Chains A and B, each alone.
Chain A
Amino acid sequence: MAILELKNLNKTYSPTSIPVKDLSLTVRDDEFLTLLGPSGCGKSTTLRAIAGLDQPTRGQVLVDGHDVTRMRPGDRNMAMVFQSYALYPHMNAEANIAASLRLKQIDAGEIMGRVRAVSAKLGLDELLDRKPGQLSGGQRQRVALARALVRQPAVFLLDEPLSNLDALLREQVRAELKQIFEAQAAPVVYVTHDQTEAMTLRRRWRCYAMA
C-alpha cells in the first residue's frame, strides 16, 4: 500500500543538541519498524517529524516517493497513537473514532460502517457512547487504536502506546497489537523504550537502537 522513506533527516535544536542526525531509512508495506532507545535519544522527535508535528531542520519524509515534508499533519494520511491516548474528553468514543472521517466529509453511512467494523474488531461495541472519562485505561487505549485504524492510513505511527497500562494488561494488549498490525498492509513505526516490547512486536528484524 505504501512505502515510508526518511532521507537524511536532521533535527537540530542547538549546535550541541542534535537529537536526530542524518537518519535515513525505508519502511515497506508490511514492515513494523521499532525505534528503541532510552528517553531523550530522539525517537519521539523522529516520530513527530514523520507525522509533521515538528519540522525537521534538514532532510525529507517521503510517502510512496512523494515528498510530504512540508505538508500539514492532517494532509499526510498518517495515523498516530499517543502515549497519553489524547482522546477528546468531551466526545464519546464513537465521535472520537469517527472525528477524522467526519472532517473529510465522508458519507455518513460509510463512516458508520467503518466505525462498526473497527469497534467490533477491538471489542468496543458496548462502549461507543461512553466518554473517555467513563473508560478504563485499557479501554481508552483501544479507542485510541480504533481512531487510528478506522482511517486506513498510509502509515501508522505509535508513540509508546503501552507505557500507561499496567504490566498484566500490557502483555495482553501487546499480543493484540501484533495481531492487528499483521493484518494491516501499511508501514508501522513504533516507538518504545521497552526492549521486550520491541522484540515481541517487530515483524521483520528492523529495530533501530537509537543512541
Chain B
Amino acid sequence: MTDQSSHSLLAWQRIALGLAIAALLIFCLAPIFWQFLTSVKVNADIETTPNIYFPSRYTLSHYTELFARRPFWNYLLNSGFISIASTLLCLAIGTPAAYSLTRQPVPSKNIILGVILIVTLFPYILLFLGLLEIARAFGLGNNYLALIVPYTAINLPLTILVMRSFFQQLPQDLEDAAKIDGYNIGQMLLQILLPLTLPALVTTGILTFIFAWNEFLFALTFMTEEALKTIPVATAQLSGASQFETPYGPIAAATVVGTIPLVVLVLFFQRKIVQGLTAGAVKG
C-alpha cells in the first residue's frame, strides 16, 4: 500500500518535474529562439500581420548581408581581442593578488578585502562619466585600451574574491612541501597552485569574458570609429535603407552571430571544468 502510493507519487513528481523543466526552458530560450527564427525569415514574413511564427520559406541572406555588406568580421575580431585581453589581464593580475591576500603577510589585509568587496557593490554606471574624463585626458578615445583597462578593473574584485576562496581550500602542507622542495613563490604559483585551481581560473575567466563581450555603454562611448566597434554596438547601430525601416532580419542575425562564440566558449570550457574537477581527486 505504502509502496504503491509512493510509486504513484514518484510518477506524479516526475511529470511535474518534466513540466517545470519544459516551462523553464521555454521561458529562458523563447526570446533566443524567436531571434533565431527571425534571422532566417525572409523580409516579407517578418513584416506581415498576423505574425508568422514558423515560416515556410527560409533564407540566409541576413547573415550574408552582415559579412558581405558590413565589416562584421572586423567587429567580431574587435570584440574577441578586447574580451580575451581583458580576461587574461584580469587573471594575470587577480590571481597573484588573491594568493597574496590568502597566504602572504599583507599589512591591513582585512581593510583591503573590505574595500574590494565594496567595489563589487558599486554600480558601474556611476563610474562612467569619470572614466570618460580619464579616457579623454589620456587620449585613449578610439583605442582598445579604453575598453580593456576598465573591463579588467571592473572584473578584478570578483576574480580576486573567487580565487582567494579557492586558494584557501588548498592544504597549507602542499605549499610548505613546495617551499622545502625549493620552489620560489612565482614557481609555486605557476607550477603547483595554478594547475590545481584551473577550474576556478576557467570559471572566473569565462565570467570576465562574457562581461567584456556583452558590455555596451563603455563600448558605445569610448569607440566612435567604425573600424573599432564591438559586436553589441555594431548590432544596435544597424540601420535600414531609410529612417523608417528597421532591419529586423540583420539585427536578429547579428544577435545570433554575437551569441555563438559565447555558447561555444562556455560549452568547450565547461567540459574542461568537469574534467578538471574529476581529474583532481585529491581525496582518497
Measured CB to CB, the residues of A under 8 A from B are 48, 51-53, 72-75, 78-80, 82-84, 86-90, 99-100, 103-104, 131-133, 135, 137, 147
**Cα of A52 to Cα of B177 in the assembled complex, Å:** 11
Contact check, A75 vs B182: say whether CB atoms are below 8 A apart.
yes
Contact check, B195 vs A90: say whether CB atoms are below 8 A apart.
yes
Residues in B neighbouring A147, C-beta threshold 8 A: 181
> Measured between C-beta atoms, what is the minimum distance from A175 to chain B in Å?
25
Contact check, B179 vs A74: say whether CB atoms are below 8 A apart.
yes
Does B261 count as interface, using CB distance less than 8 angstroms?
Answer: no
**Cα of A133 to Cα of B195 in the assembled complex, Å:** 15
Does B216 count as interface, using CB distance less than 8 angstroms?
Answer: no
Does B107 count as interface, using CB distance less than 8 angstroms?
Answer: no
Query: In chain B between 167 and 201, which residues have their CB closer than 8 angstroms to a CB of chain A?
Result: 171, 173-174, 176-184, 187, 192, 195-196
Residues in A neighbouring B171, C-beta threshold 8 A: 84, 86
Does B25 count as interface, using CB distance less than 8 angstroms?
Answer: no
Contact check, A82 vs B179: say whether CB atoms are below 8 A apart.
no
> Measured between C-beta atoms, what is the minimum distance from B201 to chain A in Å?
13
Q: Could you list 6 A-B pairs, sorted by A, with CB under 8 Å?
A: A48-B176, A52-B179, A73-B176, A73-B182, A89-B281, A133-B282
Q: Type the 1/0 row for B216-251, where 1 means its CB is closer than 8 Å to any CB of A.
A: 000000000000000000000000000000000000
> Measured between C-beta atoms, what is the minimum distance from B169 to chain A in Å?
12
Partner of B174, one of A52, A75, A88: A88
**Cα of A159 to Cα of B218 in the assembled complex, Å:** 56
Contact check, B176 vs A74: say whether CB atoms are below 8 A apart.
no
Residues in B neighbouring A86, C-beta threshold 8 A: 171, 173-174, 176-177
**Cα of A82 to Cα of B176 in the assembled complex, Å:** 9
Contact check, A51 vs B187: say whether CB atoms are below 8 A apart.
no
Residues in B neighbouring A53, C-beta threshold 8 A: 176, 179-180
Contact check, A89 vs B176: say whether CB atoms are below 8 A apart.
no
Contact check, B180 vs A78: say whether CB atoms are below 8 A apart.
yes
Residues in B neighbouring A132, C-beta threshold 8 A: 282, 284
**Cα of A131 to Cα of B180 in the assembled complex, Å:** 20
> Measured between C-beta atoms, what is the minimum distance from B276 to chain A in Å?
10
Contact check, A90 vs B177: say whether CB atoms are below 8 A apart.
no
Contact check, B182 vs A100: say whether CB atoms are below 8 A apart.
yes
Residues in B neighbouring A99, C-beta threshold 8 A: 181, 183
Q: Type the 1/0 row for B146-178, where 1 means its CB is closer than 8 Å to any CB of A.
A: 000000000000000000000000010110111
Contact check, A80 vs B177: say whether CB atoms are below 8 A apart.
yes
Does B280 count as interface, using CB distance less than 8 angstroms?
Answer: yes
> Measured between C-beta atoms, what is the minimum distance from B142 to chain A in Å?
44
Interface-centre pick from B171, B173, B180, B279 (highest chain A CB count, 10 A): B180
Contact check, A133 vs B179: say whether CB atoms are below 8 A apart.
no
> Measured between C-beta atoms, what is the minimum distance from B103 to chain A in Å?
12
Residues in A neighbouring B280, C-beta threshold 8 A: 89-90, 133
> Measured between C-beta atoms, what is the minimum distance from B245 to chain A in Å?
57
Residues in A neighbouring B183, C-beta threshold 8 A: 74, 99, 103
Residues in B neighbouring A90, C-beta threshold 8 A: 195-196, 279-280
